[in-house]
Each structure stands twice: as C-alpha cells, then as structure tokens.
Structure 1
Amino acid sequence: MTHAYKAVPEPQAILQAWIPFKDVVGVTSVRNEQDYAQARATIEVLLDEIGDDENHPLADVLDYLSDQVEAYEDERYAIPASEPKEVLRFLMDQHGLKQEDLADCAPQGRVSDILNGRRSISKEIAKKLARRFNVSAALFL
C-alpha cells in the first residue's frame, strides 16, 4: 500500500514560515504562566473571530493553541478527565448556580440540553462559559 504524501518541505522553509508565525501569535508553546496567559488571550480573540465555523481558516490555529493550553493545564492544574457537561455541572455547583443563572452564556433550555447530554457545547458557548468561570474554553470543548 503506497501513500501519496505532500512534498515534505526543507527545514529552512519551515523555519521561514514559523518565525513570522511565532512573532504574530506571540506564543506557540505553553511552558510558563506568561505563555499560558498569552495563549488564553489569543484563544479568546480567535474564538471571537471564528465562532462556530469549524471550516474557518484560523480554526487549525485555535485547535493548536487549545491543545497547548490543555497540555499545560493537564500538567499544572490536574483536573480529572471529565466530559464538558460534567465540568459545567461541577463549576455550577461550586458557584451555587442554577441553569437560569447562565442566561448570559446560553438560554436555559440549551443549558439543560447540554447538562442532559442532548447537545454538545458550541465554541461560542464555550467562550462565554470560559469568561464566566475564568477558565480555559478548552475545558468545554
């Protein structure tokens, strides 16, 4: 079985693309709290731009940074692996909130659907929940 791979670029060509990317984005790996803060801020900007459009040209950048943030959080802020709906339920319990208290993030019916597993959390709602609870949107995706 043969695979048709796209031509692999020379390392120098990768470097010529990577350096400007790093300069524009500001962070490409999360190794400390400063990187973490920069990556989270960039994720918020990207979420504002992309919304729920998974085909947006910047969606891959969002996914990449979200993966970096998630890896850092897994290492530094060990939160047991949970489904996004369980993370939401936990945060609501910790803050003494009811479904209707999250009206600034999503309609009560949508929150109910999410908590009951009938609906997943969209990127737009994840962004709003992340702001509300001051956590990474990656927890909800």
Structure 2
Amino acid sequence: MQLPENEDDYDALVLAVDELLEITGDDESHPLMSLVDIIGDWIEEWDQTHHPVPKPPGFEVLGYLMREHGLTQSDLPGVGTQSVVSEILSGKRQLNLRQVRWLAEYFKLPVDVFI
C-alpha cells in the first residue's frame, strides 16, 4: 500500500481501513491499529488536498453558535443591537474587528472562526 494517486486508490484505502476496523473493533492495542493509523493519515492527506472543506463565513458560524447555545439576537450586546445582529446574520452587514473580538471571547473561540 502507498499514498493514493487517484480516486480509485483513495477508495481502496477507505475500504481497507473499514475492513481493518471490523477486525480490530475498539481494541486500540490491536497489532493492526498501527496500520489503520498509517492508512488513515494517507486518507486524511488526500482529503485535505483533493476534498477541502470550505470555511463557512463568520455570519454562518455565528448563527450556528446562537442555535447551539439557545441565544437570541438580543443576547449578544457586544455585537450590537438586535437589528445589527439581524443584519449580520442575513449577510447584509459584515462583522467588524471589535465584534469579532467580542464574539471570540464570548464563545471562547479563536478570532479566525469569525473572519
């Protein structure tokens, strides 16, 4: 086995990992787990190069975090009034640096999550 050179190689590696995981189960000390780790690294490298996941815009991240935390637009005074938050969530207004810093501190996340 080697690094995938095309999608067929990639699919074969994914299948191999699936089969190995059926053999090893949850046993992290199983001798085949080192092979699972190696192939998993190859798959991850291929994914990052050929199947990159686009970073969502800051307003989508904010909307997601608000839903997850059960927050309303008026629960974020550091961002602005309810109408300002509404404009940000709809994409009509961009987050500014002060708002990004406030949100990062509020949610305990890096600032680049909102940029």
The ranges of structure 1 where at least 4 consecutive aligned residues each deviate by more than 3 angstroms after the TM superposition are none
Instruction: Give the letter for the 1:87 counterpart.
Output: V
1:112 partnered with 2:86: yes
Tell me the equivalent position of 1:95: 69
Tell me the equivalent position of 1:22: none
Scaled by the length of structure 2, the TM-score of the pair is 0.51
Give the unaligned 5+ runs of structure 2: 1-52
Identity of aligned residues (%): 37
1:117 counterpart SS class: coil
**Partner deviation per Cα, 1:51-91 (whole Å, 9 max, x = no partner):** xxxxxxxxxxxxxxxxxxxxxxxxxxxx8621111000011
**Partner deviation per Cα, 1:111-135 (whole Å, 9 max, x = no partner):** 1010011001001000001111110
Which has more radius of gyration? 2
Scaled by the length of structure 1, the TM-score of the pair is 0.42
Aligned length: 64
Q: 1:80 to 1:96 in 2, by over 3 A?
A: farther
**In 2, Cα distance between equivalents of 1:124 and 1:108:** 17
- Cα displacement (A) at 1:105: 3.0
Maintained 8 Å contact 2:78/2:99 = no
Tell me the equivalent position of 2:48: none
Give the unaligned 5+ runs of structure 1: 1-78
Q: CA RMSD in A?
A: 1.9
**In 2, Cα distance between equivalents of 1:130 and 1:80:** 20
